[in-house]
Structure 1
Amino acid sequence: MAEYDYDLFVIGAGSGGVRAARVSAAHGAKVAIAEEYRVGGTCVIRGCVPKKLLVYGAHFAEDLKDARRFGWNVPEPCEFDWATLRDNVLSEVDRLNKAYSQTLDSHGVEMILERATVSGPNEVTLASGRTVRAERILIATGARPSVPPCPGHEHGITSNEVFHLDRLPKRILIAGAGYIANEFAGIFNQFGTKVTLINRSDVILRGYDESIRDRLLQISMTKGIDFRFHAEFRGIEKMDDGCLRVSMTNHEDMVVDCVLFATGRVPNTEGLGLAEAGVEIDAKGAVKVDADNRSAVESIYAVGDVTNRVQLTPVAIREGQAFADTIYGGKPTRVDYDCIPAAVFSHPPMAGVGMTEGEAKNRLGSVKVYTSDFRAMKDVLADRHERALYKMVCDATNDRVVGLHMIGPDAPEILQAAAVAVKAGLTKADFDNTVALHPSMAEELVLLK
């Protein structure tokens, strides 16, 4: 009898777990993967993919208004049907779920659709009671929304449930000021919902460049989104008519139809048996791993959001790939976490890569900053007055571009290519020496002053 049932047992079929399982199997390993909900994980099922589709849907609110300035006869008012968009988005999620499952199956990965917990360094126990043994175990269980422990918190929803709303709320209170909060604030605002965002401090999108996040705050307020700062929940009370009365510090009570918690995410390690198996867990519940994704137990590894290193889907995928190539592919690989581009799909979207101006000043001392503050051509003809802002941060000693940050239409699409230049260590002169592609918004990157 073989000592192990599998070479690798993966717990969690999200972006990192699926990539690790698929590539490990391609390298010749016997692999099983357990998932208690649906294959695809947060990104595909209840995160970036369905959210981005809602962002696309929300953009039509302004696009249809702008179309009249471009000669299109658009009826007034235009009607929006939430159920149609919701159901079409969920259908696309179903398609992707099947596609991920087919990919695993085509690579010979055994799928086990039930909860799995660690019962030893080389042992996994399934919800059915069956135990299996594996030479290595990979934890890829991701993270879940954090909910503040205020009285009545059970009356609120999180980003998990927001895609399944029966109807659009007329008034929504969004708690938090990170990317999830600001993205859904923009989405619901465009759908016609009255949006109020509350935050414990007076800073939104902490960690992003100050100039860019200040511009988003200004534009969001102009669009009618209300912000209540220095506010913490006292409680949420469900009224007889189904509405929610929310009490908070430093502000008057307010009545809304929905409370959406977007107050961060916590690693999914509870009840997995990790600590009992000897895996070290940090104060935030994340699995502690080394540069090769190995935990304190030699046979147990972890990738993705459950490690709380960088909670981004492309990072989880790279970690899964690096794990598989290192362990089963004979290609030792480590993920480079420097210069990871990031985007906020707000209205308008933000994107950035490298150091912010503040970070560069603290780390480098002497910096040069170049900016372009402009209205996109389309917005000019549409008589829309919000302004885009592009910002380049350079090391003053050698002209090297150490950060690029922008807010405006299609900013994430533009930044992806520009991030290659920052990662490659190019200089401001390299940008200046590149001929502008005119007329485009992207040309501002080579015309910065």
Structure 2
Amino acid sequence: MSVLPDYDLVILGGGTAAFAAITEASGRGLSTAMVNTGLPLGGTCVNVGCVPSKHLLAVGDQAATPQENPFKAVQYSDGEPTVDWEAALDGTDELVERFRQENYVDVAEHFETDIYEGYGQLVDDTTIEVVDGADEGARITGEKALVATGSSPWAPPIDGLNDVYYYTSETILEERNLPESIVMLGGGYIALEWGQILHRVGVDVTILQRSDRVLSGMEGQLGREMQRAFEDQGIEVITGNDFQRVRAPAGDGGAEAMQSGVAVETTVDGTEQTVTGDALFVAAGVQPNSEGIGLETVGVETNDDGTIHVDEQFQTTNPDVYAAGDVIGEPELETVAAKEGNHAVKNAFGNEGVSIDYSAVPAVVFTDPEVAAVGTTELEYMTEHGTCSCRTIQMADVPRAKAVKNIDGLVQVVKHHETDEIVGVHMVGPRAADMIMEATLAVKFGLTVDGIIDTVHPFPTFSEAFKHACQAFRRDTSTMSCCVE
């Protein structure tokens, strides 16, 4: 006689994908349980990702406002602002604790989800055992299982890196006494956001990127614009690095030597350089938390990069086990993880066959200026079609940007060369994170540039930049009055 499962759905992980799953499961009257492995309940976003970084970005933005004030009518007599970093982290901790309680602990209780704390492993098909931690020894079985263990910071294979202490986006949140200078390895969104945070609270920041531009996975103009903006703000950016070695000039490289110095030996354009600082910050990307959780035991296969192999319905190679979130790979975004967790439950228990169109998922970097993008890049379109119909306008030509003297940035629109449907939008500038949603709808539903032009936009707003970029396909925007249609 077969043993009945303890729950309808058991989940390994306690982050965004897991909570989206229990929300959908509750609406279907399903019983659920999760083993929260790794970070505190809520996962990366609330604990060490979106919430703390965006809070600290706002702290840095407030600190930078006086020295970057563009209005001669506004003066500051006290000189440059100072930031109490310890107080900033205390405020971050309070915010994280409130989010964790209200958005995760209370939600799990509302949906009557049983929470088991500790390191969990799949041990028999859809059975999860807590092998270490507060609830060690507990075993839970479900009709279906979901793996949503997330990701962790990744360190590239550079000689000597493992012999020195370095910060990551997680460990920096534990550091109450910042060094005077930091060398940062990486040029993606984590490096840019944290680079700007640290610079604005008084740390001398040098960013070292392996490729020829920062944000190398995005439209080329965005990375070049952000490098220019960062250098104008006083952040040194060195691209095209061929890293040779990392070493600690003093001490034995342990945590106690953290601020005694670090040296990165690199080659740029054939020239050997040594970049030094008081500390090192590695922001080279993330890796899936897929090792040591029993995947092989239950027949769940992984890809070469360690991500869990799933089909379009988020089913693994074990038909009773699904996976969602960062552990299945890009795009590693909180909102995508939520959608994947929701869809996994719909497919597992409703056989709905729902999937995600990742080409219409927006990406945002919350720096100043902000970066946002959705859809196809110019290079991708050229590669596929051998031609490209693209237009770029500068934020300096947008009335709202000129009015408030916030003119950094640009907007590029990529359209289909035959149908005029918008297939990609890429922008740098103020409010880009909010402006990208109109562009996302355009890409998702195949709107044309004429459809955007024909839609009345409020004046004066930053959102007019998207309309102006569409108008650039039809007219010379340099000879256009503010509200011309």
Task: Please give the TM-score of this superposition, normalised by the length of structure 1.
Answer: 0.94
2:173 matches 1:163? yes
CA shift in 2, pair 1:168/1:143, >3 Å: same
Partner residue in 2 for 1:4: 5
**Maintained 8 Å contact 1:4/1:133:** yes
2:235 matches 1:234? no
Partner residue in 2 for 1:243: 260
Number of equivalent positions:
448
**Maintained 8 Å contact 1:196/1:226:** yes
**Maintained 8 Å contact 1:295/1:302:** yes
SS at match of 1:203: coil
**Maintained 8 Å contact 1:169/1:258:** yes
Partner residue in 1 for 2:155: 147
Structure 1 runs (4+) greater than 6 angstroms displaced: 376-379, 381-384
Shift of 1:300: 1.2
2:63 matches 1:61? yes
Letter in 2 for 1:294: Q
CA shift in 2, pair 1:231/1:221, >3 Å: farther
Q: Which of 364, 380, 390 pairs up with 2:385?
A: 364
CA shift in 2, pair 1:225/1:159, >3 Å: same
SS at match of 1:447: helix
CA shift in 2, pair 1:437/1:383, >3 Å: closer
CA shift in 2, pair 1:231/1:416, >3 Å: same
Q: What does the per-residue CA deviation read over 1:358-394, in whole Å, with 9 as the maximum and x for residues that have no partner?
A: 111222333322221133667757767x632111111
SS at match of 1:158: coil
CA shift in 2, pair 1:210/1:84, >3 Å: same
CA shift in 2, pair 1:93/1:348, >3 Å: same
Structure-to-structure mapping, 1:27-176, within 5 angstroms:
27-36=28-37, 37-66=39-68, 69=71, 71-72=73-74, 74=76, 75-99=78-102, 100-127=104-131, 128-149=136-157, 150-153=159-162, 154-176=164-186
Letter in 1 for 2:247: I
Shift of 1:265: 0.8
CA shift in 2, pair 1:446/1:378, >3 Å: closer
| Partner Cα separation in structure 2 for residue 175 and residue 213 of structure 1 | 16
Shift of 1:122: 2.4
Shift of 1:398: 1.5
RMSD value over aligned CA atoms? 2.2
| Partner Cα separation in structure 2 for residue 382 and residue 133 of structure 1 | 58
| Partner Cα separation in structure 2 for residue 80 and residue 199 of structure 1 | 28
2:212 matches 1:202? yes
Q: What does the per-residue CA deviation read over 1:234-280, in whole Å, with 9 as the maximum and x for residues that have no partner?
A: 12216257422313222433332221111111110111111122111
Task: Tell me whether 324-333 or 398-407 shows the greater mean CA deviation.
Answer: 324-333
**Maintained 8 Å contact 2:410/2:428:** yes
Q: What does the per-residue CA deviation read over 1:191-226, in whole Å, with 9 as the maximum and x for residues that have no partner?
A: 221111112232321221111221111111222222
| Partner Cα separation in structure 2 for residue 9 and residue 374 of structure 1 | 49
**Gapped regions of structure 1 (runs ≥ 5):** none
CA shift in 2, pair 1:68/1:442, >3 Å: closer
CA shift in 2, pair 1:22/1:431, >3 Å: closer
Q: What does the per-residue CA deviation read over 1:391-445, in whole Å, with 9 as the maximum and x for residues that have no partner?
A: 1111121211111111011111111233112211111111221234211221122
**Maintained 8 Å contact 1:124/1:131:** yes
Letter in 1 for 2:54: K
Task: Tell me whether 88-97 or 120-129 shows the greater mean CA deviation.
Answer: 120-129
Q: What does the per-residue CA deviation read over 1:260-303, in whole Å, with 9 as the maximum and x for residues that have no partner?
A: 11111111011111112211111111111111111111211110
Shift of 1:158: 0.9
Q: Give me the identity figure in percent.
A: 27
Shift of 1:72: 4.5
**Maintained 8 Å contact 1:367/1:393:** yes
| Partner Cα separation in structure 2 for residue 34 and residue 358 of structure 1 | 43
**Maintained 8 Å contact 1:155/1:238:** no
| Partner Cα separation in structure 2 for residue 123 and residue 204 of structure 1 | 43
2:296 matches 1:275? yes
Letter in 2 for 1:349: E
CA shift in 2, pair 1:208/1:89, >3 Å: same
2:359 matches 1:338? yes
2:393 matches 1:390? no
| Partner Cα separation in structure 1 for residue 375 and residue 447 of structure 2 | 12
**Maintained 8 Å contact 1:28/1:328:** no
CA shift in 2, pair 1:414/1:276, >3 Å: same
Partner residue in 2 for 1:297: 318
Task: Tell me whether 107-116 or 240-249 shows the greater mean CA deviation.
Answer: 240-249
Task: Tell me whether 269-278 or 230-239 shows the greater mean CA deviation.
Answer: 230-239
Shift of 1:331: 4.3
Shift of 1:79: 2.1
| Partner Cα separation in structure 2 for residue 4 and residue 387 of structure 1 | 57
| Partner Cα separation in structure 2 for residue 178 and residue 11 of structure 1 | 28
**Maintained 8 Å contact 2:395/2:401:** no
**Maintained 8 Å contact 1:16/1:317:** yes
Letter in 1 for 2:197: I
2:442 matches 1:421? yes
| Partner Cα separation in structure 1 for residue 350 and residue 109 of structure 2 | 20
Partner residue in 2 for 1:15: 16
